[in-house]
Amino acid sequence: MSRAVQSVESAEASLVQVRDLRTHIGGKTVFDRLSLDVPRGSVTAIMGPSGTGKTTLLRHITGQLRGDSGSVHVDGEDVAALSRNALFTLRERIGFLFQNSALLTDFNVFENVAFPLRQHTRLPEVLVRNIVLTKLQAVGLRGAAQLMPSELSGGMARRVALARAIVFDPMLILYDEPFVGLDPIALNQVLRLIRTLNRTLGITSILVAHELAAVRQVADRVYLIANGKLVAQGTPDELAREATPWTRQFFGGEADGPVPFHYPAPDYANDLGFAGGATR
Amino acid sequence: MNAQLQPRRNWLVNGIAQVGECGLFFLAILAALPKSLRYLREICRQVWFVGAMSLVIVMTCGLFTGMVLALQLYYTLSIFGGTAALGTVVALALFRELGPVLTAILVAGRAGTAVTAEIGLMRATDQIDAMEMMAVDPMAYIVAPRYLAGVIAMPLLMCLFNALGLFGGHLIGVTWLGVDNGTFWGNMTATIDLWKDILDGVWKSVAFGAVVMLIAVFQGYTTPPTSEGVAYSTTRTVVFSAIVILAVDFVLTAFLT
């Protein structure tokens, strides 16, 4: 009984709860009993070396992937246990910003942002137009409404994708590497948008990113994942000060450390044929 | 097991597994069809793309096929002194066999590959995942309308192919080789049976539309998200379509006649 009460309380406090998640993909362990919480209304950054499954974690949260054991709860619902229809209903309340923006290439900017509205509602055209233009204004691209995705720069495409992700005023937005490949101006624009959306609309945000400087400006909490486990957590400043090998290497940018510089390989001298040469 | 046999066995097992996957994919399309009827505009757009955009190639090929048929058959029939039957033979060959089969192969090459590449690139650029994330079922929005469009457009294209083929046959038989106009059309209309000859061809065409588009959308949907993957998938669409069209043609002909 007390456990149930506790879990309800923690569900109220955190929008996303990952508990003891284990995942194997293609014989490789991606997550090994991973647990973390994303508080409501916060900006949480997930960091870690490339290939540790940060994007995979986002796919668990959206129900595109299911773990071998453990659970992922979003807004109190066990994502893995949901039917396809229930999952789609949940996804209407989640915005997802893809690394490559994933705009629909057949439609112009306006129609891309209007797409979720047209699919899920029967709003009159005037209202659709107003909502779409409001969202485009929020990302500063109202003037680009008639452009095709192929005419946009990387930064603009990402802002359009962001407008599309917030068109339903979601409770949660997942950003998959939102800063990759952006010039400093575009990066700051996207950064400002993430912060504004969180502060003004209270949208909970989960951010997968590598850029420590950007994360420091925007994130309330950072989870550092490596080898399928949580290796460090805290505010960005706490982690930057912490002196564990993981944080030192990751935030100090050292080339060698817990994440080795060399990919596992047989003995170097042996590989070059010197070992046999010495005895010949 | 002999180690040398291993790759061959894998090839065979993979092949069988893929046919099985394709079958399951077909069931998934059928399940998504009712939902896809909501996207009437998308279906119309796809019928336009598969059908209207293939008009030129289908009609040109139809015309030349009819002309060649008339030339060849006139030569054969003249050996037996039966050139009066030219109209009938050209029409029978077109309606029963050449119309459905050649149209299907042309559509596989023109529209099937385009559909495969389009869906494959949507997969590679995360557009399919994005739709899933926007709670839009890609099977209902992307796959089923394209499939349906192929099934609708194929018999229509075949009819045009046949019409142009007959016109080509008339051009060569009557205008050039001097077969009597009345004999050409009179014998044809007297012999051709609406149900047995023309509708058999239409059923064949519907079946070809169904298999060609199934192969095209399946190859596109399961494309590895790389440029090489998309290239291989479009090639496979043409190769598999050609083989399956001729195999299905044999089976259908054996059952329908």
Q: Do B135 and A120 touch (CB under 8 A)?
A: yes
Neighbour tally for A25: CB within 10 Å: 12
Distance CA A97, CA A40 (A): 19
Percentage with pLDDT > 90 across chain B: 81
pLDDT, tens digit, 9 for 90 and up, residues B108-158: 999 999 999 999 999 998 899 999 889 899 999 999 999 999 999 999 999
**Hey, is the C-beta of B133 within 8 angstroms of any chain A C-beta?**
yes
Whole-structure pTM value: 0.83
Strands (E), chain A: 14-25, 28-39, 43-47, 69-74, 77-78, 94-97, 172-176, 204-208, 221-226, 229-234
- pLDDT of res. A99: 86
* Residue B20 is assigned to a structural domain of this protein: no
Give the closest residue to B118 by CA, choosing from B233, B240, B206, B242.
B233
Suggest the residue from A64, A88, A112, A160 to mutate for an interface test with chain B (most B CBs closer than 10 A).
A88
**Hey, is the C-beta of B134 within 8 angstroms of any chain A C-beta?**
yes
Q: Do A105 and B127 touch (CB under 8 A)?
A: yes
* Residue B19 is assigned to a structural domain of this protein: no
Task: Measure in Å the smallest separation between the Cα of A7 and chain B Cα atoms.
Answer: 27
* Residue B5 is assigned to a structural domain of this protein: no
Q: Is the pLDDT of residue A275 over 70?
A: no
Quote the domain boundaries for residue B233: 25-252
**Hey, is the C-beta of B190 within 8 angstroms of any chain A C-beta?**
no
Q: Do A98 and B136 touch (CB under 8 A)?
A: no
Q: Do A64 and B132 touch (CB under 8 A)?
A: yes
Suggest the residue from B125, B134, B141, B226 to mutate for an interface test with chain A (most A CBs closer than 10 A).
B134
- Residues of chain B positioned with their CB less than 8 A from the CB of A104: 127, 130-131
* Residue B164 is assigned to a structural domain of this protein: yes
Helix, strand or coil, per DSSP, at residue B256: helix
- pLDDT of res. B254: 92
Under 8 Å CB pairs connecting chains A and B tally to 47
Distance CA A152, CA B245 (A): 42
* Residue B186 is assigned to a structural domain of this protein: yes
Q: Do A105 and B133 touch (CB under 8 A)?
A: no
Local confidence band at A11 (pLDDT 50, 70, 90 cut-offs): low
Q: Do A98 and B130 touch (CB under 8 A)?
A: yes
Q: Do A89 and B135 touch (CB under 8 A)?
A: yes
Q: Do B129 and A102 touch (CB under 8 A)?
A: yes
Across residues A116-122, what is the average pLDDT?
A: 90
Give the closest residue to A164 by CA, choosing from A109, A213, A201, A121.
A109
Strands A28-39 and A14-25: antiparallel
Question: Which residue in the set A102, A116, A120 is minimally distant from B126, CB to CB?
Answer: A102
Distance CA A133, CA A142 (A): 6
Q: Do B135 and A96 touch (CB under 8 A)?
A: no
- pLDDT of res. A230: 87
- Residues of chain A positioned with their CB less than 8 A from the CB of B125: 100, 102, 105
Among A149-153, A276-280, B140-144, the minimum mean pLDDT is found in A276-280
Q: Is the pLDDT of residue A189 over 90?
A: no
Strands A204-208 and A43-47: parallel
Question: Which residue in the set B126, B135, B141 is minimally distant from A100, CB to CB?
Answer: B126
- Residues of chain B positioned with their CB less than 8 A from the CB of A64: 129, 132-133
Neighbour tally for A192: CB within 10 Å: 13
Q: Is the pLDDT of residue A113 over 90?
A: yes
**Hey, is the C-beta of B130 within 8 angstroms of any chain A C-beta?**
yes
* Residue B40 is assigned to a structural domain of this protein: yes
Burial class (CB in 10 A: 0-12, 13-18, 19+), A50: exposed
Task: Measure in Å the smallest separation between the Cα of A116 and chain B Cα atoms.
Answer: 6
Q: Do A91 and B125 touch (CB under 8 A)?
A: no
Question: Which residue in the set B122, B125, B141 is minimally distant from A100, CB to CB?
Answer: B125
Average pLDDT, whole number, for chain A? 85
Across residues A35-49, what is the average pLDDT?
A: 90
- Residues of chain A positioned with their CB less than 8 A from the CB of B122: 105
Across residues B66-82, what is the average pLDDT?
A: 94
- pLDDT of res. A94: 92
Q: Do B127 and A115 touch (CB under 8 A)?
A: no
In order of their start, the domains of chain A are 2-242 (3.40.50.300)
* Residue B13 is assigned to a structural domain of this protein: no
Question: Which residue in the set A91, A98, A100 is minimally distant from B135, CB to CB?
Answer: A91
Question: Which residue in the set A62, A92, A98 is minimally distant from B126, CB to CB?
Answer: A98
- Residues of chain B positioned with their CB less than 8 A from the CB of A98: 126, 129-130, 133
Percentage with pLDDT > 90 across chain A: 30
- pLDDT of res. A255: 73
Phi then psi for residue A77, to 5 deg, are -105, 135
- pLDDT of res. A4: 45
Q: Is the pLDDT of residue B1 over 60?
A: no
Question: Which residue in the set B122, B131, B135 is minimally distant from A92, CB to CB?
Answer: B135
Q: Do A105 and B126 touch (CB under 8 A)?
A: no
- pLDDT of res. A1: 40
Q: Which of B205 and A193 is assigned the larger pLDDT?
A: B205
Distance CA B37, CA A118 (A): 15
Task: Measure in Å the smallest separation between the Cα of B134 and chain A Cα atoms.
Answer: 6
Q: Is the pLDDT of residue A111 over 60?
A: yes
* Residue B11 is assigned to a structural domain of this protein: no
Tell me how many domains chain B contains: 1
- pLDDT of res. B5: 58
- pLDDT of res. A2: 45
